[in-house]
Amino acid sequence: MAPGIRLSPAARSLFDEPLAIAVQGLGPRQQVTLRTSLRDETGELFQASARYQAGDDGELDLARCAALPGGSFSGLEPMGPLWALQPQKPFWRLVKRDVQSPFLLQLEVLEGHGERPGRLLAQAQHERAFLRDGVRRVPVREGRIRATLFLPPGEGTFPGIIDIHGFGRGLSEHRASLLANHGFATLALAYYQFEDLPQEPKELHLEYFEEAVNYMLQHSQVKGPGVGLLGSSKGGEVSLAMAAFLKNIKAVASLNAPVVATCIPFSYKDKIIPNLALHEHRAKLTNSKFLDYSDISDDVFQAPGNQSLIPLEKAEAQFLFIVGQDDHVVKSEYFATEVCKLLQAQGKENFQILSCPGTGHFIDPPFFPLYHIGSHPIFHKRAVLGGEPRAYSKVQVQAWSQIQAFFKKYL
């Protein structure tokens, strides 16, 4: 029997779903290299390779066989061929802009463990998709709102979530599309540098975000009486400000977000939350010659009455703070811990913290590769973003299931 790659699901899976990989038809205890690759939408190549030895029966099942040292990962890591993908262009991030087309994953089994790969023994390709059959993608241009709504299959009503990304141009849909596959009506909301939205806003008006909340609550397929917010980095900060000032916010999952206004002040009606000053000169150069920006802001918790602190004690929502212990962009664990102490002091218990070891600033849905050194979201210089691939791959799965459980509970 010629060697062959067996995948389950066979031809297509969702990007956040596990993929079972096995190789059949090898020689007893044969040494092989498994190489995976995909190209992003700009054509940049991401690759991973791992060294394996088949069993006595010539079978290689990644759920039972540990990868040997010397590849992109080692040990029992059934999803290693995906989470260990690394860009061939240094400091490049895997991004999905068009969620209507899948990523195409290539798998190759090569003879031996040499630095130069041996003969090709088997190959396969597999689609990693972002939309389950029946999920609807609806562009939204209502009033000032610039967004995309993803609706799960069926005619029923669904818990509503507004997904707000951090600094980064345009409209990001990958996380919202994946959430809709799990039964949530999810609005991916742009708030600057998209179509006719401001390029460089001087203030973020919470009235704009309030319009998005009202749009969701008036939608015939969104189950009221309130919505959830999912925000990362600046988007998490926006979500926290929305919870503090707007009605009908039931649950907020905040990923590595400041609990203060940063870079751009917030305004709502006659109230302004001024932004906290960032001192770029405080960035440190690491041994690897990259910048570390983790200590560039003043400590609002050491300055009582600081006006930049978002007044979360006014919020009625439940909070889930997901924080990377190795975040080098925002002191997210410290921020979450301190703000929860303030809430506790006011007799509130509407919060939980998921503190994630080996995790840096970017927390993507499962199986996106770690982006640990790259462009700083604000200063656009090469910087340490944090994280370690294996630990992060575990956190992605845990955080993603916790986010869904949190919204199911409170929406």
Q: Domain range spanning residue 59?
A: 4-129
CATH code of the domain covering residue 399: 3.40.50.1820
Q: Which of 129, 154, 170 is the last residue of a domain?
A: 129
93 vs 106: CA distance, rounded Å? 19
364 flagged as catalytic = no
CB 50 within 8 A of CB 73: yes
Strand partners, 110: 33, 120
Q: Are residues 206 and 140 in the same domain?
A: yes
The catalytically annotated residue of 37, 172, 177, 233 is 233
Please give the average per-residue pLDDT across 274-287, as a whole number.
85
pLDDT of residue 169: 75
Asked whether residue 136 carries a pLDDT value surpassing 90, the answer given is yes
Q: Which of 163, 292, 327, 364 is catalytic?
A: 327
Structure confidence at residue 73 as a pLDDT band (50, 70, 90) = very high
Q: Is 182 a catalytic residue?
A: no
Mean pLDDT of the chain: 95
Strands annotated E in 15-98: 20-24, 31-39, 45-53, 60-61, 86-87
Residues 248, 362, single domain; the answer is yes
Q: How many residues does the chain have?
A: 411
Question: Annotated catalytic residue: which of 361, 372, 376, 393?
Answer: 361
Each residue's pLDDT tens digit, 212-234: 999 999 999 999 899 999 999 99
Residues 291 and 364 in one domain: yes
The answer to whether 279 is a known catalytic residue is no
Q: What CATH number is attached to the domain comprising 119?
A: 2.60.40.2240
Q: What's the pTM? A: 0.96
pLDDT average, residue stretch 98-117: 95
Which of these, 268, 346, 336, 275, lies nearest to 314 by C-alpha position? 346
pLDDT at 294: 84
pLDDT for residue 150 is more than 80:
yes
How many structural domains compose the chain? 2
Tokens found for residue 9? 């699901």
H-run or E-run covering 220: none
pLDDT band at 298 (very low <50, low <70, confident <90, very high): confident
Lowest mean pLDDT among 85-89, 185-189, 282-286, 326-330: 282-286
For residues 303 and 375, give the distance between their C-alpha atoms in angstroms, rounded to a whole number. Answer: 30
Cα 389 to Cα 268: distance, rounded to the nearest angstrom: 40
